[in-house]
Structure 1
Amino acid sequence: MVRNSKASTTRYECSDCGHHELRWMGRCPACDSWNTLVEMRTDSAPAARTEVRRRAAARNAGSAPISRPTPIGQIESSSTKRRPIEPEELSRVLGGGIVPGSLILLGGAPGVGKSTLLTMLCGQIAGQGEKVVYLSAEESGAQVRARAERMGAAHENFLLVEQPVLERVLGPLYEDPPAMLVVDSIQAVMSESIDGAPGLVSQIRTCGSLIADFARATDCAVFMIGHVTKDGDLAGPRVLEHLVDTVLYFEPQDQGEVRMVRAFKNRFGRTGELAVMEMTSTGLRPVRDASALFLAGRRQGENGSCVSCVMSGTRPLLVELQALLVNSQYGTPTRVVTGLDSKRVAQLGAILESRGGLQLTGQDTYVKVAGGLRLTDPAIDLGLTLAMASSLREVPLPVDLVALGEIGLTGELRPVTRLEMRLEEARAHGFRRAIVGAHDAQKLPRVKDMEIVAVRGVADAVNEAFARTGSARA
């Protein structure tokens, strides 16, 4: 019997991790995701031809051009020229502007403002006389135009393409590359060389490589919009994040019209930088004083509240830490944490009880970071501990007090980085007293109009914080 040379085989690819199986399964054995295996048909003949080409390339490797290692001192160095952009918040997160030829991935939940931000950026660059191209694979051209007109971004140099097939778009752009290309979104475009629907791992990987090659070859800055999974992670393979130069992410938060964009990766700047913006009818506008925003609505004289200062990249931010401890009505106490790692809160509670001399047994613990922030800075350890002690004692902390310090398991307080910058931010917002972790009080910075108290342990910090509050109930 003669075999059909064009016979096709069926395989199943996981849309979350790219794992392949020869038969359908309800759960992916690689990432344990349910109902993510998608049927794909592949031709056996192309696979055979690929193997033949691979073997031929191996035989001819001796005649191929040779690339010899070069001393790094002999490599031509080029200064990184950046294109300044507005708002300044976004420019700072990018490291000072857009680098030509860079590849930037912008992720976030649906409706958070990804397309709005990039439409605003396209209008700004087009208004400077540079050509920009917006590749819309999800929205219609009328929708993009309406958004651009509402934001005042509709310029003659703002070009729009409605085409999901990537090769049909990049081909003409190689001949006349724009200053910036926006791909909306990487999960909606597809390559003709890959069998499968847009959004599959193989499609995202291939399209990402095609876009990266285009950016490097033409010096065109490319922004790719990326979707997120139900867990809040960027959808698609991890190789996409390694491929790009910068990963920006709209952080999930519940602050109404406030939007926060953080740089999780940046080859041309500092990671961890945060841009705080406000969504308006004409687009995103920068928030000049983010500390005042996060402290807005703070009620003075309430127990269970303490202010600390975190570093977001190079930017200090004042945050309010809130704690509520009440007698548990059940056998097992409840612990609810918002904006922090719950295990970290449990650890600090154990330290406060063991080293601080306070009894937390039988207490339901509720902890929250006001303003919707998610914090990982260890400098907030002391502030959170004092907020818990304030709630337990039912005694408010002084309204002009700020607490900074990392707490170890033995109850010791360790100094934090960039202490002077944090204290200056606190002083600028009316705080006049600071309790900080330090081993040597002589090495503390001097900040005008601020009393700085150095403590070495949790018990000392609790006593110092409540020393001027009068009698306290333990």
Structure 2
Amino acid sequence: MQKQKRDKFIFRCQSCGGQAPKWMGKCPDCGAWDTLVEERISSGVLKKKKSSFLPEPVLLDSVEVQETDRIKTGVGEFDRVLGGGIVDGTLILIGGDPGIGKSTLMLQVLSSLSKAGKKCLYVSGEESVRQLSMRGKRLNSHGASMFVVSETDLDSILAMVELTKYDALVIDSIQTVFHPDVSSTPGSVTQIREAAMQFMKLAKTTGLPIFLVGHVTKVGAIAGPRIMEHMVDTVLYFEGDKSHVFRILRAVKNRFGSTNEIGVFEMNEKGLTEVPNPSAVFLAERSSVSPGSVVTSCMEGTRPILVEIQGLVSSSGLGTPRRTILGLDNHRVALIVAVMEKRLGMNLSGLDIFMNVIGGVKIVEPAVDLAIAAALASTFLDKPVDKGTTLIGEIGLTGEIRAVGHVQARIKEAAKMGFTKCLVPSSTIKQLSKIKGMTIESVSFLKDAMEVLF
């Protein structure tokens, strides 16, 4: 008698996809704790299947490409991040914290496409059709050619798309979709990888743009195997603090556009509203004269944005002074504090330091170094910086003010918002042209800047 083959079991890490023959508390590949989950695999040996069709390689220069316009979604900030619109056959992954507005954004994008005559399908694995209808009415997101369905079976979703031709497809979320032939539970590494592979094949063979909404882990990364981010064409992160009304859409991968652009939205009772001029919004409630408040210009892609940086220095009652930094790099602020102590003689080491970027914006570029130093010096000396002054420049360890990029665009944005004076590095002054109503003053060292300001 032929011996019956038994199924074998392995333990797969839900963080990195690594395999282990037995359960362990810590993944041997990525070091994550309590992420190994049992999965069943067949013990049978896979037979090599001879393909009846072999694609013939062609010369790259011989391929004719027709330049087609991108599909405009009607949401300007969303199109900006994508590089000007949606490319046919693209696979886009959108991640973000729970409740940040991912589903709301997708519903509004499909509604805008539907109103433009596009036939769209919204597949939800987390909400019923009735719940989607309630959300759509609240957000005024509807359209004559916008269809919704509540489904999690991968085969059923693919059959629906093959049966009817759609112009856009949203899967909300990829973690809820499961393949019936895969034994692991929905949301596991195997299920997510299989679903992402099937949707990628569908997008490339039919030219259908597909949006995948993804959950994020507690550390902020999109849940599932890292290979999913490699398969898709674009990875977007929806950022923002729930306590703030502003949301920022940022691309970390984009095969058809720049990864430097951002889209700014405001969350209200009617959903997400575009913010075409973020500088005016971020500076709307700035006080006239207040020590510790400084305005600088940061670049997000091709867009300069004016933001207010606030600093507060106070005496500490603790053995170790507190350092609370919101919206800025902690290490960068620590470096600037050390330079100020060494080059300016300001004793900040024993004081509590608090810094915040108004509006919940996160800034990582070094062009705001001079503004950080000015905010700390202003609150330390209890002297306000002139309301019409903005500062741009990077600070070196020797106290020198170093050049940054796109200074002309930054100054133009400041002049447009009513600022009359700008401090810039001396090395960039020759490259700048005169701007009406703006006085440009150059400084070479941090000490020079403090003398000009105070």
Please say whether Structure 1 and Structure 2 have the same fold, judged by a TM-score greater than 0.5. yes
Residue matched to 1:10:
9
**Secondary structure at 2:118 match in 1:** coil
Of 220, 226, 233, the residue aligned with 1:238 is 226
C-alpha displacement at 1:449, in angstroms?
A: 0.6
CA contact (8 A) 1:133 1:178 kept: yes
Amino acid aligned to 2:20: E
Residue matched to 2:31:
32
C-alpha displacement at 1:130, in angstroms?
A: 2.2
Q: Residues 43 and 442 from structure 1, CA distance in 2 versus in 1: closer, same or farther, beyond 3 angstroms?
A: closer
Amino acid aligned to 2:377: A
Residue matched to 2:103:
115
CA contact (8 A) 1:93 1:262 kept: yes
Of 146, 155, 162, the residue aligned with 2:150 is 162
Instruction: Say if 2:161 is the partner of 1:173.
Output: yes
Of 119, 141, 153, the residue aligned with 1:153 is 141
Q: Residues 453 and 338 from structure 1, CA distance in 2 versus in 1: closer, same or farther, beyond 3 angstroms?
A: same
Amino acid aligned to 1:251: E
C-alpha displacement at 1:26, in angstroms?
A: 2.1
Amino acid aligned to 1:442: K
Q: Distance in 1 between matches of 2:111 and 2:405?
A: 39
C-alpha displacement at 1:397, in angstroms?
A: 0.9
Q: Distance in 2 between matches of 1:434 and 1:290?
A: 20
Residue matched to 2:209:
221
Q: Distance in 2 between matches of 1:280 and 1:390?
A: 35
Count the aligned residue pairs. 454
CA contact (8 A) 2:246 2:359 kept: no
Residue matched to 1:469:
none
Of 308, 328, 344, the residue aligned with 1:320 is 308
CA contact (8 A) 2:313 2:379 kept: yes
Q: Distance in 2 between matches of 1:189 and 1:44?
A: 26
Residue matched to 1:423:
411
Instruction: Say if 2:19 is the partner of 1:20.
Output: yes
Q: TM-score, normalised by structure 1?
A: 0.91
Counterparts of 1:32-431 in structure 2, within 5 Å, are 32-45=31-44, 48=45, 50=46, 52-53=47-48, 65=54, 67-68=56-57, 70=59, 72-254=60-242, 256-431=244-419
CA contact (8 A) 1:420 1:447 kept: no
C-alpha displacement at 1:345, in angstroms?
A: 0.7
Structure 1: where are the runs of 5+ without partners? 467-474
Q: Distance in 1 between matches of 2:166 and 2:275?
A: 31
Query: Any idea what the Cα deviations from partners look like across 1:54-73, whole Å, max 9, x if unmatched?
Result: xx76xx9xx98474462x43
RMSD of aligned alpha carbons: 2.0
Instruction: Say if 2:429 is the partner of 1:441.
Output: yes
Amino acid aligned to 2:268: T
C-alpha displacement at 1:330, in angstroms?
A: 3.0
C-alpha displacement at 1:160, in angstroms?
A: 2.1
**Secondary structure at 1:120 match in 2:** helix
Q: Distance in 2 between matches of 1:234 and 1:390?
A: 40
Amino acid aligned to 2:432: L
Amino acid aligned to 2:108: M
Residue matched to 2:452:
464
**Secondary structure at 1:44 match in 2:** coil
Structure 2: where are the runs of 5+ without partners? none
C-alpha displacement at 1:233, in angstroms?
A: 1.4
Q: Distance in 1 between matches of 2:381 and 2:116?
A: 60
CA contact (8 A) 1:307 1:321 kept: yes
Q: Distance in 2 between matches of 1:126 and 1:64?
A: 38
Q: Distance in 1 between matches of 2:116 and 2:55?
A: 44
Sequence identity percentage = 40
Q: Residues 205 and 454 from structure 1, CA distance in 2 versus in 1: closer, same or farther, beyond 3 angstroms?
A: same
Q: Distance in 2 between matches of 1:29 and 1:402?
A: 51
Residue matched to 1:470:
none
